[in-house]
Structures are given as C-alpha cells and as structure tokens.
Structure 1
C-alpha cells in the first residue's frame, strides 16, 4: 500500500512520521518545501501537488489547519479519485463540511473516513495519540490496521460526521480545563503559595486533568509551547458553540470561553500560543507565573505500543456485517 500524507505541520508531521516508521511506502505534500525535504531525506517520496499525490497513492491522509484548507485540497484531488482510493481526514473540522466532502469523494467511487486525533502533539510523535473514526463499520475494519499504527486508542464513533462532533467536544473541554488551570495558578501565586507545590496539589487531587499535567507544565516553564495557537482554540470552541446552538442547548460557559480567547487574540495576536492566555491574568495582576524544573515542551515518555480499538463502556464490539 502506498500512503499519501498532506499537511506536515505540528500534528501532521508527527503522524506522517509514524506512517514512515512503520514501514509504509509514504508520499508527502506540503506547501512548505523544507518539510517535504525532511521526509524525502528519511525515505519518503514527494508529490508535485495534491492531485499528483492522490494519483500515486492508494490511501491519502490529510491533516490541515482549517475546514477551508481541507476543502481546497479535496477538491483538487477529486479528478484522481476512483473506487480504488481511500481518503482519511485527520483535521479538526465540522460535521456538515466533512459530510459534504465525503459525498464528493463517494460520488467518484472513493471511500472517505474522518479520523481526528486527540492527546497532544507529543503523543502524535509516538503514535500514542487517540483517534476517533467516523465511517461505516466495514470501512472502519478496512482502515483499522493503518489507524493503529498512527494512534494507540481508536474509537469507531459511527457514521461520517460523528467523529468531528466528538472531537470538537473534547477540544471544548480542554479549553475549559486550560482556563481554569490558568486561574488556579495565578490565584495560588497571589495567595502566596509556592507554584511547584500548587502544581503537585492539583496533579494528585480531584482537580487534575490531562490539560493540567501537560499545559500547566509549559506555562510554569515560561515557554508556553504546546504547539497550538489561539486562533485554533477560537475555531474549535466556535464549532462546539455552533453544534449547541443548532441543537437548541443554551450554553453559558462556551460563550465566555470564546470571549476570553477573542480578547486574547486582540491583545497578543491570532497565532500566539494558546497557553499564553494566562498573560491576561499576569498583565492584570503584575504576577509572573513561572517555576523551576518544568519542561519547555512536552515529550511523551510512554513507550510506543500497538494500537487497538476502544469499545465504549456498556457496549459490545459490533460484528462486521457480511
């Protein structure tokens, strides 16, 4: 199988590295020639453009920064799609758009799978990230061997569109976690607490979270580098807000998160690292939220392990229809 990968950024580059590391014949494309050159030096081939990549590959994976970017790439690949092709979308997008693009792929005879990831760039680097897969069950079984080289925990979420909805939900929760961690750390500093001790108290308590155990560390280091930016947070929380509004759910916290990040973008710029949202509180209080001993960036210290399908609690594994 020749696998194509489009989008070699913070997450995509690490996922593509897992494809290459696991022995697949990999062809890549990115607007950044240097990123492509790095993969060519490691044994991949490079395509001239998205259409060329689709023409050469059996399965094409996209991991792009916005729904608009995904749409442009898929529409460029469409003339080369037929019944032998599979498209895997690993970007964070909205359900309506993924359904539209999947319909275009299906009309050409191809197969589409949405499979956004969750767990941070450091886990993408070691294939220990989680993957949500939206597609019919037969297609899921077909692509599972590839997905388990890209991630450790793979959840079949249902038909096309379901994975995008769940991914947006998890990013909303992560954003809420980030902002509460920021408020907790600044308040502890203002109250005279040692921040190393405050970090540990949060970590070993009912107040801990994945976000605290990762993003709080790079906040306290001062790098604030989690390879995610404020504009992407605003996009993801906005997508979650759209889902809630369409479903008639009167949210109160989600609009507040949006306003906070809109203010952060106005102050520091759209491409500012998302943990630097804490600067709003640092600026307001005159406090610096730093502590010794924390890393500048997160590195996954768990060994890479074979991936597997996650079966939802209370359910049994579905049988593949014959």
Structure 2
C-alpha cells in the first residue's frame, strides 16, 4: 500500500519511522519542514499537500495534536477520496469528531479507521506500542498490513468511535496514576523513606503499574521528560470528562485532576512536560523527589516483532 503520513510530532514521527524502517512506500507531511527533510533523507517522499497525498496514496494516516487539526486536514483530503481510499486516524481525539469525519469519508466511497496508540513514545519508536483499531471489520483488515508494523498488540475495539473512547479512558487512568504516584513518592520522602527503596517497594507490590515503571523513573532521575506535554494531557482528560458528561456520569476524581493539571500549566507552562507536575509538591513541601540510579530517558529494549491481533482472553 502506498501510504501517506501527516503529523511527525512526538508520537507521529516515531510511528512513521516504523513504517519507513519496515519498507513501506511512505510519503510524509508536517508543518515543520525540518522533520519532513529528515524523513526524506531516510528515503521517504516529501508530501506537497494533504490533497495531493490522498490523490497519490492508497492510505493517508493522520497523527495530529487536536480535533481541530484533524478536521482541517481531513477537509483537504475529502475531495481526493473515493472507493479504494482509506483515511486512518491515529490521533487521540474526540470520538464524535471521528464519527462526523468518518461519515464524510463514507459519502465519498472511501473508508475510515481510527487507530490510536497506547504505551509511551519509547514503544512507538520500536513498533512495540499497542493499537486500538475502530471501524468495520473489512476496513481494519485492509490496514492490518500497516498496523502490524506500527504496533505489537492490536485490538479491534468495534465500530468507528469505540477506539477513541477507549484511548481517552486509558489516558485518564494514566493521569490519575501519575498524580497518585507523585503524592505517594512525596509522602514517603517526608516520612524519611529512601526513594529508591520506595520505587522498588511499589514495583513489587499491588500498587505497581505501567506508569510507575516508566514515569516514576523519570521523576526520580530529575529528567521529567516523558515526551508528553501538559496541554496534551489536558486535551485527553478533557475529552474523557466530556464523554462522562454526555452520558450523565457524575465523576468526582476527573474534575480534580483537571484542576491540578491546570495549576501545573499555570506554574510551569502550557507545553511543560507532564511529569513536572511533581514540582507542585516539591514547591509545597520543600522536598526534592530525586534518587540516584534512575534513567533520564526511556528506552524500549524489547526486540521489534511483527504485530498481532489480540482478542478478549488472549494476552
């Protein structure tokens, strides 16, 4: 499949790199011309415009920072869409927008699939990230040859819109976990515990999690650069809150974490790394939540393997 990729940011650039590394005929486009030039030097074709890419490619993938950005790009794709053409949305976005844009794609005779990813930028870089695929079965199977290079574990979540709902849910849970870990680490420091021992205690216990094994290390090393910024967190947890509001679910924790992240943005900047949220507690307590021996960046050391579909009950 001749493939276009629009959006070479923190996640998109790594996903596009997996396609290029695995020999996919790839055309790329980004507002940052330097990123496009880097991919061209590695063998990708530079895209001229979204419309031209849709005209020349079988599939165009978007991985963009907001629903508004996706809308702007898909609007340019639509005149060149038709039977045999696929729009593949890999952004973390609003399920209602995916459904709206997907309906416009269907009117042209084209197909739409949403494929948000989960597992961290370090796993996106190695093709070992997990993918939620939403759309009709035929459409998902058509893009599976791409999905198996983009990610390790691929879950068909159901009709269009289901993957986006699940993705914002998982990002909400990750944010709750991050904030609770910040409180746990700070409280243990205040109580006189060694933070390296605290890290191991959490990892060996029922309190362990993916977020702890990754982001806690970056907090303790002082790097606090998880390659994910506070504005993106706010977008995702805001979309989860919108979903709950739409369905009349009276959430209590969600509004609180939105307030905490808003305060973090006010203190450290809208585009501050999300792990810097620990610094609110450092400022409040005068404690330094650091420990020796932790990495300053996350590296996925699992060997790259071809992706496969998972189903309920299968690891």
Aligned to 1:317: none
| Larger deviation, residues 46-55 vs 154-163 | 46-55
Alignment of 1:253-264 (within 5 A): 253-264=253-264
1:76 Cα offset (Å): 1.2
Which runs of structure 2 are paired with 1:107-118 in the superposition (5 Å)? 107-118=107-118
Counterparts of 2:63 and 2:89 in 1: how far apart (Å)? 6
Asked if residue 36 in structure 1 is aligned to residue 51 in structure 2, the reply is no
Shift of 1:32: 0.4
Considering only aligned residues, what root-mean-square deviation do their CA atoms show, in Å?
0.9
Structure 2 runs not aligned, ≥5 long:
none
Q: Give the unaligned 5+ runs of structure 1.
A: 315-322
- Provide the residue aligned with 1:284 in structure 2: 284
Give the corresponding residue for 2:207.
Answer: 207
In 2, Cα distance between the equivalents of 1:141 and 1:21? 22
State how far apart, in whole Å, the 1-side matches of 2:54 and 2:289 are: 47
Q: Secondary structure at the match of 2:60?
A: strand
1:283 to partner: Cα distance: 0.4
Alpha-carbon separation, structure 2, partners of 1:293 and 1:190: 20
Question: Pairwise mapping of residues 122-161 of structure 1 onto structure 2 (< 5 A)?
Answer: 122-161=122-161
Determine helix, strand or coil for the equivalent of 1:237.
helix
CA–CA separation in structure 1 for the residues paired with 2:231 and 2:191: 32
Which residue of structure 2 lines up, in the alignment, with residue 4 of structure 1? 4
Distance in 2 (alpha carbons) for counterparts of 1:37 and 1:145: 26
Deviation at 1:84, TM superposition (A): 2.1
2:177 alignment partner in structure 1:
177
1:95 corresponding residue in structure 2: 95
Matches within 5 A, 1:1-322: 1-313=1-313
Task: Give the total of aligned pairs.
Answer: 314
Distance in 1 of aligned mates of 2:252 and 2:313: 29
The Cα shift of 1:313 comes to: 2.6
Runs of 4+ with deviation above 6 angstroms: none
Q: Deviations over 1:131-156 (max 9, x none)?
A: 00000112122211211110000000
SS at match of 1:152: strand
Q: Deviations over 1:160-203 (max 9, x none)?
A: 00000000100000000000110111111111111111111111
Instruction: Describe the SS at the equivalent of 2:70.
Output: helix
Q: Distance in 2 between matches of 1:67 and 1:30?
A: 16
| CA–CA separation in structure 1 for the residues paired with 2:41 and 2:163 | 34
Deviations 1:93-135 (A, max 9, x none): 0110000111111111111000100000000001100000000
Task: Give the match's secondary structure for 2:61.
Answer: strand
Please state whether the residue corresponding to 1:295 is helix, strand or coil: coil
> For residues 250 and 120 of structure 1, what CA distance do their matches in structure 2 show?
29
